[in-house]
Amino acid sequence: MGVGVHVEKLNAWFGATQALYDVAMEVPANHATAVIGPSGCGKSTFVRCLNRMHETIRDTRLEGTVRIGSLDVYGNSTSAVEVRRRVGMVFQKPNPFPTMSIYDNVAAGLKLNGFHNRRVLDEVVERSLRMAALWDEVKDVLKKKSGASLSGGQQQRLCIARALAVQPEVMLMDEPASALDPISTSKIEELIFQLKEQYTIVIVTHNMQQAARVAEYTGFFLMGKLIEFDKTEKIFTNPSDKRTEDYITGRFG
């Protein structure tokens, strides 16, 4: 089962520019939480702070607490590698490994973690591809086709399978469908719907309809601050904050 994410007093900087101001959020386990807001509001930054990808950019700084289940993400004894193994990430633009076959792409995370047993790999690869709803389309060309030879939508599902293969507890998705056509997008959304039974999902999206379709909870960000966090239904029908209402109704953003 997935675990919840606890965020407290999170502040983040790019150089001297502050990107997040005192963000506090409780992401509930086994649900999908959407993070919405206009461009540049900090939603991607927020999500990247959850799996310590924010610090891979040079000259960044971060303060605050993030806990994934019982794991203190920024604790002194916690390594970034461990955090990233337990939190999976899917990026905006699909980025399969072009020099590897579909099979090797999905198995990459496992191999890095030292699993080389053929049978274990085969089983996990199949399971992950099934979960990502890609198995039937690629099962005959697993080792023959490269990861980059698939269509955009398939590539993104491959990336999802790759992330699922290491069996994370939380899945972070940074606008996973924004580079895809509508049909692929709906496939991804169906996927999220099913995945949230096992995993805790945080999905960044600039598409409010998508948030409404997919997530039970939604957080609205504006200029680096979390303005409102509540059940999706409430955010979209009866938001508490005026700014949320303005964004939802399209007055800006």
- The whole-angstrom separation of Cα 35 and Cα 46 is 9
Stretch that binds another protein, among 36-44, 175-183, 193-201, 239-247 (CB under 8 A): 193-201
Stretch that binds another protein, among 5-13, 39-47, 90-98, 206-214 (CB under 8 A): 90-98
Residues 64/100, Cβ–Cβ less than 8 Å: no
User: Per rule CB under 8 A, is residue 122 in the interface with another protein?
Assistant: no
User: Per rule CB under 8 A, is residue 136 in the interface with another protein?
Assistant: yes
Of the candidate residues 99, 209, 238, 240, the single one contacting another protein (CB under 8 A)? 99
User: Per rule CB under 8 A, is residue 209 in the interface with another protein?
Assistant: no
When the beta carbons of 23 and 162 are compared against another protein, the nearer one is 162
Of the candidate residues 112, 144, 181, 238, the single one contacting another protein (CB under 8 A)? 112
Using the Cα atoms of residue 210, residue 212, residue 214 and residue 217 in order, give the sign of their dihedral.
Answer: positive
- The whole-angstrom separation of Cα 89 and Cα 134 is 18
Of the candidate residues 1, 76, 183, 252, the single one contacting another protein (CB under 8 A)? 1
Of the candidate residues 65, 149, 178, 198, the single one contacting another protein (CB under 8 A)? 198
- Alpha carbon distances (Å) from 29 to 36, 68, 176: 19, 10, 20
- Half-sphere CA count of 229, side-chain side, radius 13 A: 17
User: Per rule CB under 8 A, is residue 24 in the interface with another protein?
Assistant: no
Alpha helices, DSSP H only, in the chain?
43-50, 80-86, 102-112, 118-131, 135-138, 152-165, 182-195, 208-214, 232-237, 242-248
- The whole-angstrom separation of Cα 136 and Cα 133 is 8
Using CB under 8 A as the criterion, which residues of the chain lie in contact with another protein when the complex forms? 1-2, 51, 53, 56, 58, 81-86, 88-89, 91, 93, 95-100, 108-110, 112-115, 120, 124, 127, 130-131, 133, 135-137, 159, 162-163, 166-169, 187, 190, 194-195, 197-199
